[in-house]
Amino acid sequence: MYLIAPSILSADFVAAALKPYCARPQGARAALDVHLMVRAVDALIESFIAAGADTFVAGSAIFGCADYRAVIDAMRYELRRPSPASKVA
């Protein structure tokens, strides 16, 4: 199931609210895939990780960043880090 939401919902608190519902009908865990199609991609990575993001998709807005490769590397780094205590289970 895919949720389609306007960009106004691109906030970490929305991801945190949706995280408990990320499950398949059989009960298996489903990933929370966050699409960061906003200008301030690099400023949002850590807050979405803390909210429970499992994967990121960065839209074309990432190429507006001063160093888009550094932003992609930061996404990869944050996703590999052990879960912080504040991360939603």
CB 64 within 8 A of CB 28: no
Mean pLDDT of 62-89: 73
Q: Whole-angstrom Cα distance, residue 67 to residue 19?
A: 30
The percentage of residues in the chain with a pLDDT greater than 70, rounded to a whole number, is 79
> What single-letter amino acid sits at 24?
R
Write down the mean pLDDT value for the chain. Answer: 75
Q: What pLDDT, on the 0 to 100 scale, is given for residue 10?
A: 59
* pLDDT above 70 (res 11): yes
Mean pLDDT of 30-45: 77
Per-residue pLDDT band for 86 (boundaries 50, 70, 90) equals very low
Statement: the pTM of the whole predicted model exceeds 0.85: no
